[in-house]
A = this chain, B = another copy of it.
Amino acid sequence: MAEAPGDDTGARRSAVIDLGSNSFRLVVFTAAPGAWWRRTDEIFEPVRIGAGMGKSGRLTAKRMSRALTTIETYAHYLRASGIPPADVQAVATSAIRDAANRDEFLACAREASGLDVRVLSPAEEARYGYLAAINSTTLSDGAVLDLGGGSLQLVGVRDRLAADVGSWPLGTIRMTERCLDDKPATKKQLKAVRARVREELESARWVGKGGPRLVGIGGTVRNLAAAAQRRAELPSFGVQGYVLDREALGALISDLAALPAAERGSVPGIKPERGDVILAGATVIDAALEAAGYEAIEVTEAGLREGVFFDGHLAPAEPRLFPDVRAASVRNLAAQYHADAPHVLHVVSLCLGLFDALATGGVHPGDESERELLWAAAMLHDIGMTVDYDDHHKHSRYLILNAGLPGYSPREVALISLMAQYHRKGSPGFGELSALMGDGDDARLDRCSALLRLAEQLERARDQVVRETRVEVHDGSVELELVSGGDTGIAQWAAERQADLFERAFGRRLEVTAG
C-alpha cells in the first residue's frame, strides 16, 4: 500500500549503554540490515559520575550509588524489553577510566546488573566519536572534536580516514571544578580555562593541519548550537549540520559568563541539567578552535553511541564507513516508509532525465549539487502518504524536516523538503524556512519543483507507462515527447496542467506530445 510505511521484516534491535562522565544513556537501535536503521528508544540520566573527583581522583560514593541505580534500571529495561545480552554493548569513558576506584565500581556494576562494562581507552573513545562524525557528515579532510564531561578528543581526518588521535583531560566537569565557581565568571577565570587548553594542545601540533573543516560531537556542542540557533532566531529542526562560528560562540560565552552558574541552564537551547558546566565547555571549545586555527565548528547530532552502533552495523566493511553519507541518509529515510517503490524510482529517473536533457539543451545550468537535491526530493516525495492522503505533499515536508538527513546542511534539508512539498501543487515558496535560504535558491526550488511535479504527473497513473521522455528545445518552448509502452492519455493530460510552473521556472512554454 503506497502510504503504508517501513517494512520491518528482519528488523533487529540492539542497545548501546554509554556511561559518560556527565551523563549515562541507554540507546536502542532498530535496524533492518541493508535497508534502514533508526533510534527507537533512549533512557537518559544525568548521573555526573565524574563530579567531585578533583582531589582524590576517586568516584564519589554519592555519584556511584546514583550510577549503580541507573545501571540496574537499564539492565531491568533490557530484560523486560527482551534485548539479549549478546546485543548489548556497555561502554565507559574518561571519568570511569581514570578513577582510582574504577575496578570497585565495575565490580559493583556487574554485581548489580550482570552487565560487563567495557572501559574504552582514549584511542577507542576517539575512534567511536570519529565513526559517529564521519558517518553523519561529509567531512573528508579536517578534524573531529568530541568534548565530554571528562575529556576532549581530537581526531585528525584525511580522506575520511582517522589520522592522528589525541585525548586531553579538558572535559566540562573537570574544567568547571578546576577553574570556575557558582558566581558569574570573571575574565581571569575564563583566561585560566583558555590557558589550560592552550598548554594541553601544545602536544598536538598536527591539529588543524588536516584541513579546513572541524566537526563537533557531544552534548555541549549540541546545546551550544541550539542556543545559537535560538539567538539567531533561525527555524530549528534539530542542530544536525549547523555551523557554529566563533563569533556566535563568543556571544554565547559572554551571555553565559554574565550569569551565575545556577541560571545558565535557563538560556534557551541549553538543557537545565547542563547549565552549570556549559560555560566551561563553551570556553574549552572556543580555545580549542583558536589553538587549532578553525573559524567554526560543524555540529552533528550523532554521538559516541552511534559510533558504537555503526561499528557493528557497518561491519565487516573496513573502514566502517557509509560509501556516501548523503545517499545513505536519503535511502534510510525512504526505506522506513514503504512507498510504492516502482512508482518512486520511476519518478526519480524521469525527473533526472528531464533535468539532464534540459541542461544539455541549455535551458538551465545543470548544476550537480542541484541535481543531487532533486534526486533526494524525488526519492522522498511520497513519504507523507503515511500521515494522510490529503496534503501528503506537506506531510512529506514535515517528515523530511523532522527526521533530518545527516550529511546535508540545514539549508539543503529545507530545500529538499520544499521540493517534496511542491511535487503536487501550490506555488513554490520558502515560507517559514526563508531564513535558511541562499542566493538563487528561489530559482533552484522553482526548477526542481517543476521537474518533480512534471515527472509525478507523467506517473499519475503509477503505471510506468511513460518509459522516458525526449526533449526538444525551441526558443520560447520546450517540446516533451512521451516515449511509452501504451496509452499515455492520462500522463499527457496531467503533465499539461503543469505548464505554468514549468514556464515560470524555465521561461519556456511546455508542449507535451505522445511519441
Contacts and interface: CB of A to CB of B under 8 A. Distances in A.
A172 B493 CA distance: 28
A72 B4 contact: no
A126 to B, nearest CB: 25
Copies in the complex: 2
A292 interface: no
Interface string A95-116: 0000000000000000000000
A5 B5 contact: yes
A59 B395 CA distance: 40
A493 B43 CA distance: 12
A81 interface: yes
A500 interface: no
Interface in A456-497: 460-463, 465, 487, 489-490, 493
Contact of A238 (B389, B390, B402): B390
A40 B77 contact: no
A391 B402 contact: yes
A489 B390 contact: no
Contacts of A80: 461-463, 465, 490
A86 interface: no
A338 to B, nearest CB: 9
Given A40-B385, A73-B490, A461-B76, A5 B6 contact: yes
Q: Size band of the A side of the interface?
A: 35 or more
Interface string A15-48: 0000000000000001000000011111100000
A6 B8 contact: no
A36 to B, nearest CB: 10
Interface string A77-101: 1001100000000000000000000
A403 interface: yes
Nearest to A43: B460
A386 B38 CA distance: 11
A337 B80 CA distance: 23
Contacts of A7: 4
Contact of A77 (B3, B38, B402, B490): B490
Interface in A363-408: 385-391, 395, 398-399, 402-404
A195 interface: no
A413 B73 CA distance: 36
A138 interface: no
Given A39-B390, A40-B385, A77 B5 contact: no
A435 interface: no
A508 to B, nearest CB: 25
Interface of A: 1-8, 11, 30, 38-43, 69, 72-73, 76-77, 80-81, 238, 336-337, 385-391, 395, 398-399, 402-404, 460-463, 465, 487, 489-490, 493
Given A5-B386, A69-B493, A77-B490, 14 more contacts: A1-B30, A3-B6, A5-B6, A39-B390, A42-B389, A73-B490, A76-B461, A76-B487, A77-B460, A80-B461, A80-B490, A81-B462, A388-B404, A391-B402
Sort A-B residue pairs by CB-CB distance and give the 8 closest, nearest first. A80-B461, A80-B463, A1-B8, A5-B5, A4-B6, A4-B8, A39-B389, A76-B490
